[in-house]
Amino acid sequence: MELRHIRYFLAVAEERHFTRAAQRLGIGQPPLSHQIKDLEREVGTPLFHRIPQGAELTEAGRAFEAGVRQIPGLVGEAVVAAQRAAAGETGRIRVGFTGSAAFNPRVPQAIRIYRRRFPDVELSLAEHNSIGLVEGLKNGSLDAAFLRPDAVDKQGLRLFHLADEPLIAALASARMPHGEPIRLEQLAEDAFILTPRALGPTLFDATLEACRRAGFEAILGQSAPQVASVLALVAAELGVALVPESMRDASFRGVTYHDLTGNAPKVALALATRNDEQAATVAAFVAEARFPSEAEPG
Amino acid sequence: MELRHIRYFLAVAEERHFTRAAQRLGIGQPPLSHQIKDLEREVGTPLFHRIPQGAELTEAGRAFEAGVRQIPGLVGEAVVAAQRAAAGETGRIRVGFTGSAAFNPRVPQAIRIYRRRFPDVELSLAEHNSIGLVEGLKNGSLDAAFLRPDAVDKQGLRLFHLADEPLIAALASARMPHGEPIRLEQLAEDAFILTPRALGPTLFDATLEACRRAGFEAILGQSAPQVASVLALVAAELGVALVPESMRDASFRGVTYHDLTGNAPKVALALATRNDEQAATVAAFVAEARFPSEAEPG
DNA sequence: AATCTCGATATGTTTTAGGTATGGGGCGAA
DNA sequence: TTCGCCCCATACCTAAAACATATCGAGATT
């Protein structure tokens, strides 16, 4: 049995007339009669009473109709669902981000607007360090990741550059007035709080390189796994830290931020995907992150 | 799109492998690839990622699968439903009966056993006079009817003879000892309670003919629309009545039944259907009424 | 580097859907 | 009652398409 038989059967059942049903189907009456007969042979029983005025359903025909009536609609819905999924309007996307990337306003904004434009896409978020993000992309547990790209393994990944952020100094509040710029050399005697290089090499390398360019070798203090804990250690006066500028929006009790004078070191913010990524959901997400749409409603 | 495309798609989706799916489907791999490609062209998007190990669903493919997975099962169920309906195991049957026929034990027994054997057939019952039953059969509002056939219009109907019942006399209790036989001539001076001939001619004609054969012309008393009301009038001592023997099982306060001596008049009990009836439910019902199955369980 | 696996492509054959012409039965009008 | 119309079934033919066989090419594995 094929969908054709079902469509033809339903047409005859509705028209109660072979000739009219054939016209509606755009075929001749003889092939329609033939197909219905094939169907009846396969089901094993007549589905129509042929009467002089046309045809009417047998009891078996009524039972069959009740069973197959919805099928053409189901097929159509399945096609539409597939097309919507292909257009990235349904499905899912798993997005990762590093602790520091989450504070750049472009990251939450991209997520917010994407969810608004594609409300039927199931979006899940996960915070990891850079190494974990790259691993997640490669093993398929993540589809896209906001990260600091400079020092990660780019093999098999596609990186979309989103922003360059100057680093700023995070000091314990007692050190100097809030907001006042600072020269990096002033921190030559301070311990630097850093995340372990194995977890997130970019900020680690950028900090040491900046100090080197300022004429001194940074003193390494405590290490902390995430940006938030770095700031906690700074607040506890265990040392100082260089953080991306966007961290300024996240005020942290006991920590003051200070621009670095001179040409401040910069770290990049990028969005990474697998370079063989094909999902339309991911493509749409990348597009939104790279080229934010005009404005958010409301 | 045809069911073939859906079946092939589901096979590949399940096997994640074109060649294995083709083997399972009993066709070659090239035509399977071709059909899947046709389907993808019609849907407008790829449904599988071709990978060196076989194939895996795209997001669109997953959405499509969710929509069509149930369809082959639905088709199978529809076929089974049609076959069951053709076998008379589902559907409906509308059975009518006259007031007097309902008291013959074969009638309720046939209905009871039929319902037990075909519990999924919707059976509706309606009591009418003979004229109403015949009209119901002819206009399609009834499928079968238990009635007294002798004097009805048999045009377009098929009658199955079930029983010949002797008539017995129904008298007011005061008249004579319960159960004692009576000669019809003893009722020559009594008024006969009858249903109007226009509603049920058989018992009417049988009664008058019996009296005529016994040598007198029956005196017509009150008329009553149904057997039960006839007995009520008898109990009220407004006259006597001849009723089918099976009425004896329905004792009625104030009425005694008496066999008629000599060769008692008889009325037939029959089951009527349209003579162009084709429904399997009706055929099964007729079979059960004509040839009762062995015994009722329990 | 060689081989193996797996899907895609090319080509021919066979099945089958659909078109055209015609037959046959039943109903209604004359 | 007969003629004519309506409707589905049958017969036959054509054209499309499903499937088989043979082969290719890409990618992975050894």
Q: CB atoms < 10 A from the CB of B224, how many?
A: 19
Query: From the CA of B10, how many Å to the nearest CA of chain A?
Result: 13
Nucleotides of D under 7 A from a protein CB: 6-12, 18-22, 26-28
Q: Which of B59, B83, B84, B120 is the best residue to mutate to test the A interface, defined by the most A CB atoms within 10 Å of its own CB? A: B59
pLDDT (0 to 100) of residue B298: 46
Q: CB atoms < 10 A from the CB of A284, how many?
A: 18
Q: What angle, 0 to 180 degrees and rounded to 10, lies between the N-to-C axes of helices B71-86 and A29-43?
A: 80
Tell me which of A207-216, A234-243, B43-52, B194-203 is least confident: B194-203
pLDDT (0 to 100) of residue B161: 95
Pure H helices in A97-175: 106-117, 130-139
Quickly count helices (H) and strands (E) in chain A: 10, 11
User: A114-173: per-residue pLDDT in tens?
Assistant: 999 999 999 999 999 888 899 899 888 999 999 998 877 888 889 999 999 999 999 999
Strand pairing of B241-244 and B157-172? antiparallel
Tell me which of A277-281, B87-91, B145-149 is least confident: A277-281
Q: State the average pLDDT over residues B15-21.
A: 95
Query: From the CA of B189, how many Å to the nearest CA of chain A?
Result: 55
CA of A29 to C1' of C21 (A): 13
At residue B224, what are phi and psi to the nearest 5 degrees? -140, 145
User: B53-76: per-residue pLDDT in tens?
Assistant: 999 999 999 999 999 999 999 999
Which residues of chain B lie closer than 8 angstroms to A79, CB-CB?
A: 1, 42-43, 64, 67
Q: Are B82 and A63 in contact (CB < 8 Å)?
A: yes
pLDDT (0 to 100) of residue B217: 95
Per-residue pLDDT at A36 exceeds 90 = yes
User: In terms of Cα–Cα distance, which of B125, B89, B91 is closest to B107?
Assistant: B125
Question: A289 pLDDT band (50/70/90 cuts)?
Answer: very high
Which residues of chain A lie closer than 8 angstroms to B8, CB-CB?
A: none
pLDDT (0 to 100) of residue A179: 84
Tell me which of A287-291, B256-260, B293-297 is least confident: B293-297
pLDDT (0 to 100) of residue A298: 46
Which residues of chain A lie closer than 8 angstroms to B82, CB-CB?
A: 43, 45, 47, 60-61, 63-64, 67
pLDDT (0 to 100) of residue B72: 97
Per-residue pLDDT at B30 exceeds 50 = yes
User: A74-123: per-residue pLDDT in tens?
Assistant: 999 999 999 999 999 999 999 999 988 999 999 999 999 999 999 999 99
SS (HEC) of chain B: CCHHHHHHHHHHHHHCCHHHHHHHHCCCHHHHHHHHHHHHHHHCCCCEEEECCEEEECHHHHHHHHHHCCHHHHHHHHHHHHHHHHCCCCEEEEEEECCCHHHCCHHHHHHHHHHHHCCCEEEEEEECCHHHHHHHHHHCCCCEEEECCCCCCCCCEEEEEEEEEEEEEEEECCCCCCCCCECHHHHCCCEEEECCCCCCHHHHHHHHHHHHHCCCCCEEEEECCCHHHHHHHHHCCCCEEEEEHHHHHCCCCCEEEEEECCCCCEEEEEEEEECCCCCHHHHHHHHHHHCCCCCCCC
pLDDT (0 to 100) of residue B179: 84
User: In terms of Cα–Cα distance, which of A11, A61, A81, A40 is closest to B69?
Assistant: A81
Q: Which residues pair with B126 in a beta bridge?
A: B96
Reading the block at residue B252, the tokens are: 């009625």
CA nearest to B77 within chain A:
A67
Domains and CATH numbers, chain A: 3-69 (1.10.10.10), 91-162+269-290 (3.40.190.10), 164-267 (3.40.190.10)
Q: Are A60 and B83 in contact (CB < 8 Å)?
A: yes
Distance CA A23, CA A54 (A): 14
Which residues of chain A lie closer than 8 angstroms to B60, CB-CB?
A: 82-83, 85-86
pLDDT (0 to 100) of residue A297: 55
User: B169-217: per-residue pLDDT in tens?
Assistant: 999 998 899 889 999 999 999 999 999 998 888 999 999 999 999 999 9
Q: Which residues pair with A219 in a beta bridge?
A: A191
Nearest to B62 among A66, A79, A85 (CB): A85
Distance CA B221, CA B223 (A): 6
User: B98-127: per-residue pLDDT in tens?
Assistant: 988 999 999 999 999 999 999 999 999 999
Reading the block at residue A45, the tokens are: 């029983």
Tell me which of A34-48, A70-84, B142-156, B158-172 is least confident: B142-156
Query: From the CA of A276, how many Å to the nearest CA of chain B?
Result: 12
Run of H or E residues at A120: none
Q: Are B60 and A49 in contact (CB < 8 Å)?
A: no
CA of A31 to C1' of D14 (A): 14
Which residues of chain B lie closer than 8 angstroms to A45, CB-CB?
A: 82-83, 86
DSSP A90-112: SEEEEEEE-TTGGGSTHHHHHHH
Question: B130 pLDDT band (50/70/90 cuts)?
Answer: confident
Question: B297 pLDDT band (50/70/90 cuts)?
Answer: low
pLDDT (0 to 100) of residue B64: 97
What's the gap between Cα A288 and its chain centre? 10
CA of A81 to C1' of D23 (A): 37
Of the two residues B10 and A200, the one the predictor is more confident about is B10
Distance CA A129, CA B151 (A): 98
Question: A294 pLDDT band (50/70/90 cuts)?
Answer: low
Which nucleotide's C1' sits nearest to the alpha carbon of B35? D18
Which residues of chain B lie closer than 8 angstroms to A77, CB-CB?
A: 67
Reading the block at residue A177, the tokens are: 């007035």
Q: Answer whether B162's CB lies under 8 Å from B106's CB.
A: yes
Query: From the CA of B77, how many Å to the nearest CA of chain A?
Result: 7
Nearest to B81 among A63, A82, A90 (CB): A63
Output the average pLDDT for chain A: 92
At residue A104, what are phi and psi to the nearest 5 degrees? -75, 125
For A264, half-sphere exposure in the C-beta direction (CA atoms, 13 angstrom radius) is 20
Contacts of B107 by beta carbon, 8 Å cutoff, 6+ apart: B97, B101, B146, B269, B289
CA nearest to A78 within chain B:
B67
Q: Are B68 and A74 in contact (CB < 8 Å)?
A: yes
Instruction: Evaluate if the CB of B38 falls below 7 Å from strand D.
Output: yes
Q: State the average pLDDT over residues A233-256.
A: 92
Q: CB atoms < 10 A from the CB of B287, how many?
A: 15
Distance CA A56, CA B89 (A): 20
Distance CA B146, CA B101 (A): 6
Q: Which residues pair with A49 in a beta bridge?
A: A56
Work out the end-to-end distance of chain B between its first and last CA atoms, rounded to an integer number of angstroms.
54
CA of B38 to C1' of D21 (A): 21
Distance CA A12, CA B170 (A): 57
Contacts of B250 by beta carbon, 8 Å cutoff, 6+ apart: B103
Q: Answer whether B83's CB lies under 8 Å from A43's CB.
A: yes
Q: Answer whether A238's CB lies under 8 Å from A188's CB.
A: no
Protein-strand C interface by C-beta, 7 A: A 2, 4, 26-28, 30-31, 34-35, 38, 52; B 17-19, 29-30, 33-34, 36-37, 50, 52-55
